A and B are shown apart, each in its own frame.
Chain A
Amino acid sequence: MTATQPAIVNTLTTGRLPKWAPWALLAGSWVVMSAVFALMSAGGGGDFNIALAIFLGTVLFDVAIFVIAYLVEGARQAKNRLVTSLVATAFIIALLPLISLIFTVLSEGLHRFDLQFFTSSMRNVVGEGGGALHAITGTLLITGMATLISVPVGLLTAIYLVEYGRGPLARAITFFVDVMTGIPSIVAGLFAFAFFALVLQDPGIRFGFGGSVALSLLMIPVVVRSSEEMLKIVPNELREASYALGVPKWLTILKVVIPTSIAGIATGVTLAIARVIGETAPLLIISGFTASMNYDLFSDRMMTIPVFVYTQYANPGSDVQAYLDRAWAGALTLILIVMALNLIARLIARIFSPKLGR
């Protein structure tokens, strides 16, 4: 008996592309474009540009998936697939510069990422050698001072907004703190310069403390926003329990509200430091640049890592490569510091946050 049974047709999947189809198409497009580029670089010389190959391969995929889906699934599904692939393309486009940047900073920065770089300044150095010790101490001093200014002001403002503030003053502060997050960093530097040049009557003033003031202007709104969010999520029951025991309001805030939210506040402060530690423009204006060590925030020019990177790039001597190598090493140092701060912030949030579950 060989009565041919018709194959059972799954009506849910007919007329649809199989699930693996987009992935296979994407991989296929990348391979095709890479092959084209490899042939071109083999035939016509020139370098093999992997980023461009990936990018054009993704574009090819966008077109291919639209055409194939249009033929198999119809116009509406094709449009849906096109948008899906375009959205994924956007993500890949954003990844390309990130990967390229990290790769370049690592490969170029490691040339001079040595002991000498961290143990010597640029004093009397022309050409090779030298290091960024003066810039690293400068960054630590200026950013530390900025943190000392910003954290009390920012935290007290956040407490005001959450615990005390009602009415027009609180609304004005909330609004202008938001607006302040958008102040261009160079304007903060110009303000610090204009302020101290007028107050101290020195039209060419350059000193580290001014840099701290400029950075505080950028840092305070970030601290206020993050602390405010953290204070808001402290449960009201804790405050009420404390009041019920007869504890005054200020002690309730100091002993109950802040300890409960301290992990979140510390995370916010660390992220704020990470944000301002890479600022270049304000420090270029008010702290200036120098080749020597300077431990005094209140007199003379003070170098910082971002400005170090900029000046090494912008004012090279006769041996350009030595200066560029130092610039890249400085960039690598800066990125490592920022990444470390971000990591610390996440660790603080994870380890010290109050355990609410039982």
Chain B
Amino acid sequence: MTTAAPSVRAKQRPADRIFATSTVVAGSLILAALAAVAVFLIAQSIPALLVDPAELKGSPSSFWAYVAPLAFGTVWAAFLALLMALPVSLGIALFISHYAPRRVAQGLGYVIDLLAAVPSVVFGLWGIKVLAPAVTPLYTWLTENLGWIPLFTPPVSGTGRTILTVAIVLAVMIIPIITALCREIFLQTPVLHQEAALALGATRWEMIQMAVIPFGRPGIISAAMLGLGRALGETMVVAMVLSPAALITFVLTGSQNPSTIAGNIALNFPEAHGVGVNALIATGLILFLITLVINSIARIVINRRKAFSGAN
């Protein structure tokens, strides 16, 4: 005679355990892989930090003197790309979410996604063979007429293989990323807010200013940061288009341009040997840390937003 009914528990079959465990292992494997990326990059970077800097490429005074122009070029090119891509992406996202007729909006979204499907090496080929010759006359004009601005100090590059050309191609490549995220966020704007603004007599732009932009601001910021992260790590365009030099300069149109970390690795890795390989891996580690921080911040902002909006 039992007095209290025993709580019924589902029978644990061995197959259930095996399956559940294998999913946990797979999930943990991802975390382990990310940790392994950091560990192995650090392990392979240490020789470069300890070696006599004279053995590095270009004989810099220290490892950090070797990295500084590359880090500057990486951030500078990505910043320029973001500067160009953000307004255009916002425009496209608004166009698709609030301006285009609903029937064609989806199709227009696919067209922009096509840009994201083009492999980066093809963008590089296009940048060097089509874009660079096309913008060279513009650069000549800029240096001749606006040369007093430090950004356009003469002499002009004769080939168009400058950091501005790289930034333009990078901008084209990150436009679909920023657009896709902004579009999603703009579409989440509460319809009641928008209709209320329109009912009060606002024009469509005033409605967007009052209802859509304030609602989407955190999302726009994190979308921009994700685009920045992509631009920081983009390799082939820089390796193919830029004519690199080891210096720090803000000039956009000259023939002496700071290279980027990723582009420098791609150009020098196939021929590198000995401690040169370690130095390149060390720069890669720095790139990894920069993008990791930027992506983490962007994701934290997005995730917090999810909790706010009640979309989930």
Given the contacts A224-B30, A313-B240, A186 and B265 also touching, CB distance less than 8 Å: yes
Contacts of B243-299 to chain A: CB distance below 8 A: 262, 265-266, 269-270, 273-274, 277, 280-281, 284, 287-288, 291-292, 294-296, 298-299
A327 to B125, CA, bound (A): 8
Inter-subunit contact A79/B205 (CB<8 Å):
yes
Contacts of A233-270 to chain B: CB distance below 8 A: 248-251, 253-254
Would you call A159 an interface residue if the criterion is a C-beta within 8 Å of the partner chain's C-beta atoms? Answer: yes
User: Per a CB cutoff under 8 Å, which of A49, A165, A203 touches B134?
Assistant: A49
| A residues in contact with B119, CB < 8 Å | 277-280, 306, 331, 334-335, 338
Closest residue of chain B to A47, judged by CB? Answer: B134
The stretch of A86-94, A119-127, A348-356 that contacts the partner chain: A86-94
Listed residue (A77, A250, A254, A314) with the most chain B CB atoms within 10 angstroms of its CB: A250
Would you call A303 an interface residue if the criterion is a C-beta within 8 Å of the partner chain's C-beta atoms? Answer: no
A203 to B276, CA, bound (A): 11
Given the contacts A182-B295, A204-B273, A195 and B36 also touching, CB distance less than 8 Å: yes
Residue interface bits A150-179, CB-to-B below 8 A is 1, else 0? 001110110111011100011011011111
User: Per a CB cutoff under 8 Å, which of A184, A306, A335 touches B288?
Assistant: A184
Inter-subunit contact B175/A184 (CB<8 Å):
no
Would you call B41 an interface residue if the criterion is a C-beta within 8 Å of the partner chain's C-beta atoms? Answer: yes
A153 to B40, CA, bound (A): 21
Residue interface bits B42-82, CB-to-A below 8 A is 1, else 0? 01100000000000000000000000000000000000000
Inter-subunit contact A88/B40 (CB<8 Å):
no
B83 to chain A, nearest CB (A): 14
Report B's interface with A, CB cutoff 8 A: 10, 13, 15-16, 18-20, 22-31, 33-34, 36-37, 40-41, 43-44, 87-92, 94-96, 99, 108, 111-112, 114-115, 117-126, 128-131, 134, 172, 175, 179, 203-206, 208, 226, 229-230, 232-236, 239-240, 262, 265-266, 269-270, 273-274, 277, 280-281, 284, 287-288, 291-292, 294-296, 298-299, 303
Supply 13 further A-B pairs (C-beta < 8 A) apart from A221-B30, A278-B120: A90-B90, A91-B95, A100-B130, A101-B122, A156-B23, A165-B27, A175-B296, A175-B299, A176-B34, A179-B34, A187-B233, A190-B41, A285-B266
